[in-house]
Amino acid sequence: MAPRTDFPPIRACLFDMDGLLLDTEDLYTLCINLILEKYGKTSLPWSIKARLQGRPGPEANALFHEWAKLPVSDSDYLAELTALQKKHFPSARPLPGVEKLLSDLGRTRWWDIKDQSGVRNGGKGGSVGHKAQRVHIALATSSTSANFSVKTSNWTELFSVFESHRRVLGDDKRIQPGRGKPLPDIYLLALKTINDSLGEGEEPITPEECLVFEDSVPGVEAGRRAGMRVVWCPHPMLKKEYEGREPEILAGRMGEAGQIDVHQLGEIGDGWADYFPDLTDFPYGKYGMVIPSAEAELDESMQENTEAGIATKAA
């Protein structure tokens, strides 16, 4: 089909975390392989890892145990895995382009600031053809609160761009059990956290005004099922594993959730999703986003207290 080209400008960016913002996927594999080696099993292949990515812990663990058949109970496996993750996750680092991308998007709040005459900065002009407006952001990760704290412990300033009430984590009670990625609930909830906290007079953001950033195949399907545009930025080995099936992935048609609500899925080549090898030099204009110059950060009105939004270690 002919790709759609008449999209409205993006007003909200919703982010996965593992393998998208932080390089935790290889650390996950390391921890799992250490356990597999201990019990004389072969290393985790990408054909299996690809099915685990993006899913909530219980679902991912069930798929893993079905394949691995370890001679230990689920609880013992989780205890070993948790200990290894606490050791290795703090070494996670942002992936290429992430720090600049989040900084750029965070700076778009400058467009909403008014001068002494009550005129918004965004109303004074922007790039030709695009409206200068704030791009709201939210986090939507299957990582639990405890794992989130461990992974981000050395990157609290980076993650402070996500306001605390706009973070949806894997153990969020508002998401019903069994309704994690590849189902759309987590991204619809992330959008709700934004809409519930918009400024006075700001129109609610619609799903088609959202851009989901994902690395996993189930995550792409979740974004597509939510009726949102998607950026797919996978691990190179995941891309290799699914070589030739990229159009199906971008349409959300890999069958990750089975034959459930198939009307939510996209169509091959519909233009709603794009592949990027990394997030370096992200093309904001393609999505109708306008980024203020770096000098905007020097504006006194931009000096906001972010203490409430900074990630802290779990007690």
Token pair in block for residue 54: 């993006």
Question: Which is the catalytic residue, given 16, 172, 185, 215?
Answer: 16
Q: Which residues contact 74 (CB under 8 A, 6 or more apart)?
A: 61, 65
Contact 163, 310 (CB under 8 A): no
- Is residue 26 flagged as an active site residue? no
Question: Which is the catalytic residue, given 18, 172, 185, 215?
Answer: 18
Say if residue 8 is preceded by a cis peptide, omega within 30 of 0. Answer: no
Positions of E strands within the chain: 12-15, 136-140, 167-168, 210-214, 229-232, 273-275
Count CA within 13 A, CB hemisphere, residue 105: 28
- Is residue 172 flagged as an active site residue? no
Contact 207, 7 (CB under 8 A): no
CA 141 vs CA 19, 118, 193: distances in Å: 11, 38, 14
Picking from 186, 172, 174, 173, the residue whose alpha carbon sits closest to that of residue 216 is: 186
Q: Give the catalytic positions in this structure.
A: 16, 18
